[in-house]
Structure 1
């Protein structure tokens, strides 16, 4: 099994393409010859990335400045994608909040739900019929190791990511035999390869560098997993360790420890 072949008319859609995992995957897809639709809120950054990729790889990179948490803006993008030949979808856009649920800004929490969950749900539905009809396509939804279980003081985020995890893995099995694959990317902590000392968090300082996953290595592992038709990819040693612990450690022991850590992150 391989990824769908790049063609002149087909497009690979990458949300959250202005930074992090989304930007890294967009760069790797461009290097593989895929024409792109880059989606994020910050148009200027997207245009810079599009210019870079078009000049370097001789591909087409379209820019769609869109706040996927906004229902109206999201609907306009979905209407366009339904009429386009989309052969790859990477849903990477997402945000998080930390601290007690009742103390969070409700507007931000609802925005988080719309971006992390509703947008993934609706974009998947928008491109899937065309992929199945053509008998080829690949979808990757970015969930999280955090979606494996309850994490106090991260409640809305784990709510959205648990849904994305289960939704994506369910579709993986539903789509067998259609020529379309659906892969869950469930990362733990991911960061830049190098972080200045003054910008390092307490986690950056405590966890050895070799345990971290960079955006670039995360992208490579993800695209390899998609090409192999895998159900779930958990990139990097730290993420893999967190994945195992979160699935097998007693919730009554793990949740309070994780909750205390996430509470400090929200302070």
Structure 2
């Protein structure tokens, strides 16, 4: 594992439950952490207040990051919608894709030139197991996270041989404030496993230290993702119970 001491990281979603834990761990490892969120992150060395869903603000942020030294970009910020897609509305659909996929791509594009010039750097994208196993009623979130996984793979191939690592980490459900009461009820009905955020933060930092490529948290989820890639009809049948549980929550 490479030492992180003295590295300079940019962390989106720094004020969130997982982002706060990551900022604390990175700083403990000697990393200077610049947090990005709509409010100041309490565990960061400094915070840039910005709205990743606002196209003008995102462009200004990208320009700002292009002009500063960034060793590690961690795209952690995310939005999750649980419910029928027809009840989400155009604005919330656009918002989800903007934060979950457009912003990571734009910020990666902003910092790669300097990383290429130095021959060193790392881009870390926090996806979801739902990107590999698209879940019903998490339709836009699943598809955005699938896009983030694709972005990570394509960017890794594009930057191969330039000294830049592209790390994609796919957690399963995490016990944070990210989960709404309805999601909590769904998880209870389906007995969905939810990991403690501290453990997930530890896994992400370890992946950063190892400059890992793809990390998927949870052995059953990894196997299910492989099955979904090979035999999606089998997974369709396997998710029948989750679909029934979700529909019961929305009375449809």
Q: TM-score, normalised by structure 1?
A: 0.81
CA displacement, residues 50-84 of structure 1 (integer Å, 9 cap, x when unaligned): 4xxxxxxxxxx111111101111111111110000
Deviating 4+ runs (over 6 angstroms) = none
Task: Give the one of 65, 70, 80 matched to 2:64.
Answer: 80
The answer as to whether partners of 1:154 and 1:262 remain within 8 angstroms in 2 is no
Q: Quick one: distance in 1 between partners of 2:79 and 2:139?
A: 13
Q: Does 1:133 align with 2:117?
A: yes
Q: Does 1:22 align with 2:19?
A: yes
**Aligned residue pairs: how many?**
241
- Counterpart in the other structure of 2:36: 39
Q: 1:180 to 1:125 in 2, by over 3 A?
A: same
Q: Quick one: distance in 1 between partners of 2:92 and 2:190?
A: 30
Unaligned 5+ runs, structure 1 = 51-60, 193-198
Unaligned 5+ runs, structure 2 = 177-182
1:83-122 counterparts in 2 under 5 A? Answer: 83-122=67-106
Q: Quick one: distance in 2 between partners of 1:106 and 1:266?
A: 19
Q: 1:35 to 1:265 in 2, by over 3 A?
A: farther
Q: Does 1:178 align with 2:178?
A: no
SS in structure 1 at match of 2:71 = strand
Q: 1:262 to 1:137 in 2, by over 3 A?
A: farther
Instruction: Please give the root-mean-square deviation of Cα atoms over the aligned residues, in Å.
Output: 2.5
SS in structure 1 at match of 2:122 = strand
Q: Quick one: distance in 2 between partners of 1:251 and 1:144?
A: 18
1:1-267 counterparts in 2 under 5 A? Answer: 2=2, 5-7=4-6, 11-43=8-40, 46=41, 48-50=42-44, 61-192=45-176, 201=185, 203=187, 207=191, 212-235=194-217, 239-249=218-228, 250-255=231-236, 256-257=239-240, 258-264=242-248
Q: Quick one: distance in 2 between partners of 1:49 and 1:227?
A: 20
Q: Answer with 66-75 or 143-152: which moved more.
A: 143-152
SS in structure 1 at match of 2:43 = helix
Q: 1:49 offset after TM fit, Å? A: 3.0
Q: 1:265 to 1:218 in 2, by over 3 A?
A: farther
